[in-house]
């Protein structure tokens, strides 16, 4: 069985495959490199076959989304470790070894990520993952090096290796057996927040999530869905409500969920003022979906409680509210947070 399988999910991403597959091939000696095509309608598949004959192809007949696309592909891949790698990521020499060595030295390590820097500005962290994913007391995700839309310059401040709460889906290392044991990514999410939900499940099962700053990749970001897309707004708001409903202890959820709903409406009003009515409507649609699917979310919660038995996690959530720190206290740097985790 192959030790490492790098699986790149692709949907109409010919440009990125052409640009970034050479770096993956050049710097991933000994690993299987697989492109999982998610029903592309461009010439991505012919490109891979003609230009990169050593790269394996797994083809879906439709766009199953990020979650369904990976679940479909990984059912067909036998390896000890998976690397779920976005098509718009440039890897660097020696990127695999530091992360894989973490797994080998720690049998309780379930998932990990490298340092994620911006491909457009290589001295700056990138939004999706930065120096490792964290989560606050209300379930808002943020990163070391990225709080909301503010990103830090990389000055070596996150060159460490340490536990985090979630590992980015842009470059996500995971033990293959655990991926399947825990059911893979939640396909109801389609895209966005799915890696945080999965990492929360991993931790509830007793495994750790790690960041390895000795490994670096460069991420374009928004390669498939723009950061300015109302569709992305919809998925982020909808899936975050689902995630906290599934995982928060009941005593917290009973008061934190209403707070989140109120803050979402404030965000919708802010979108209207900007003006960005499409994003405001995306928040409303996210709430409509959440409330009409509340019974299904509760069923997921009950099933997880039976399977995982505990709400405890190996890495504690940031105890304060990041929206207060950022919008009211003006905190933009991770080091300036109140007792950061």
* Per-residue pLDDT in tens (0 to 9) along the chain, 341 residues: 799 999 999 999 999 999 999 999 999 999 999 999 999 999 999 999 999 999 999 999 999 999 999 999 999 999 999 999 999 999 999 999 999 999 999 999 999 999 999 999 999 999 999 999 999 999 999 999 999 999 999 999 999 999 999 999 999 999 999 999 999 999 999 989 999 999 999 999 999 999 999 999 999 985 444 456 899 999 999 999 999 999 999 999 999 999 999 999 999 999 999 899 999 999 999 999 999 999 999 999 999 999 997 887 888 899 999 999 999 999 999 999 987 76
CATH of 2-219, one of 3.90.550.10, 3.40.50.150, 3.40.640.10, 3.30.70.3270: 3.90.550.10
Nearest to 222 by CA among 52, 87, 58: 87
- Indicate the burial class of 236 (C-beta count within 10 angstroms; 0-12, 13-18, 19 or more): middle
pLDDT of residue 222: 59
pLDDT of res. 225: 44
- Distance between CA atoms of residues 197 and 179, nearest Å: 12
Domain with CATH 3.90.550.10 in the chain: 2-219
The strand ranges marked E within the chain are 2-10, 32-38, 56-60, 79-86, 89-91, 109-118, 133-135, 141-143, 146-147, 150-151, 161-164, 171-175, 208-219
Whether this prediction's pTM lies above 0.85 is answered by yes
Sequence-distant (6+) residues with CB within 8 A of 139 are: 240, 243, 244, 248, 256, 260
């Amino acid at each position: 069985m192959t030790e490492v399988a790098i699986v790149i999910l692709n949907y109409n991403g010919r440009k990125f495959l052409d640009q970034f597959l050479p770096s993956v091939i050049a710097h991933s000696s000994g690993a299987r490199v697989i492109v999982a095509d998610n029903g592309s309608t461009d010439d991505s598949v012919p490109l891979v076959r003609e230009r990169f004959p050593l790269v394996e192809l797994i083809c879906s007949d439709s766009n199953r989304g990020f979650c369904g696309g990976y679940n479909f592909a990984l059912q067909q891949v036998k390896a000890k470790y998976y690397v779920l790698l976005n098509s718009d990521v440039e890897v660097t020499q020696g990127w695999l070894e530091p992360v894989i060595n973490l797994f080998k030295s720690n049998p309780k390590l379930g998932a990990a990520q490298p340092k994620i820097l911006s491909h457009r500005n290589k001295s700056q962290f990138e939004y999706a993952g930065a120096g490792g994913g964290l989560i606050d007391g209300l379930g808002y995700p943020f990163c070391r090096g990225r709080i909301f839309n503010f990103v830090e310059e990389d000055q070596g401040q996150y060159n460490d290796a340490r536990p985090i709460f979630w590992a980015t889906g842009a470059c996500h290392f995971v033990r293959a057996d655990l991926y399947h044991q825990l059911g893979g990514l939640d396909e109801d999410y389609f895209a966005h927040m799915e890696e945080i939900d999965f990492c929360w499940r991993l931790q509830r099962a007793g495994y750790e999530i790690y960041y390895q700053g000795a490994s670096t990749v460069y991420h374009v970001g928004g390669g498939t869905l723009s950061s300015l897309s109302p569709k992305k707004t919809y998925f982020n708001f909808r899936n975050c409500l689902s995630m906290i409903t599934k995982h928060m202890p009941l005593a917290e959820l009973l008061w934190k969920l209403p707070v989140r709903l109120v803050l979402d409406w404030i965000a919708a009003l802010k979108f209207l003022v900007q003006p960005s009515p499409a994003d405001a409507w995306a928040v409303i649609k996210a709430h409509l979906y959440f409330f009409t699917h509340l019974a299904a979310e509760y069923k997921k919660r009950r099933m997880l409680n039976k399977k995982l038995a505990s709400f405890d996690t190996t890495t504690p959530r940031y105890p304060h509210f990041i929206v207060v720190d950022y919008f009211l206290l003006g905190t933009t740097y991770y080091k300036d947070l109140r007792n950061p985790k």
